């Protein structure tokens, strides 16, 4: 592979990755904890969009349980968003023949 072709592929990859990052900022994932008692929604650029709490989950005598459910929902949705982001980005690097999991600086 000649150097000019490789440089063009790298530039194309960078452009495509920036485009994909914008798309991921609009893509939403959802995760529920406690059998649907708390549901979190996040974008795949790791921003929390909403948290819904079922009124049945609100027990003034057990605030710790509600806090745990909220934490589990947020942790779960962020993990799901990261997984989705990783899969989408690896599609781009795979097209260029780069090994999976490579951490590019852009």
For residue 101, is it within any domain?
A: no
CATH number of the domain that residue 38 is part of: 3.30.1310.10
Whether 105 is covered by a domain: the verdict is no
User: Is residue 61 a part of any domain in this protein?
Assistant: yes
Contacts of 23 (CB under 8 A, 6+ apart): 88
For residue 96, the model assigns a pLDDT of 60
Residue 62 lies in a domain: yes
Average pLDDT score, the chain = 87
75-101 as b/e: b if 16+ CB within 10 A: ebbbebbeebbeebbeebbeeeeeeee
Q: Which residues of the chain have pLDDT under 50?
A: 106
Domain count along the chain: 1
Look up the domain containing 8 and give its range.
3-95
Domain assignment present for 100: no
Question: Residue 80 domain-assigned?
Answer: yes
Residue-level pLDDT at 106: 43
User: Quick check: is 102 in a domain?
Assistant: no
The Cα–Cα gap between 38 and 10 comes to 42
Other beta carbons less than 10 A from residue 31's beta carbon? 19
Task: Give tens-digit pLDDT for 14-39.
Answer: 888 889 889 999 999 999 999 999 99
- pLDDT score recorded for residue 17: 85
Percent over 70 (pLDDT), the chain: 88
């Amino acid at each position: 592979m000649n150097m000019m072709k490789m440089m063009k592929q790298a530039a194309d990859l960078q452009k495509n990755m920036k485009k994909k990052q914008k798309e991921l900022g609009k893509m939403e994932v959802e995760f529920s904890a406690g059998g649907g008692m708390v549901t979190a929604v996040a974008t795949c650029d790791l921003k929390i969009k909403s948290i819904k709490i079922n009124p049945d989950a609100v027990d003034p005598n057990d605030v710790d349980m509600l806090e745990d459910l909220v934490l589990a929902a947020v942790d779960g949705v962020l993990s799901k968003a990261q997984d989705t982001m990783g899969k989408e980005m690896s599609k781009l690097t795979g097209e260029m023949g780069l090994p999976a999991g490579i951490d590019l600086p852009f």
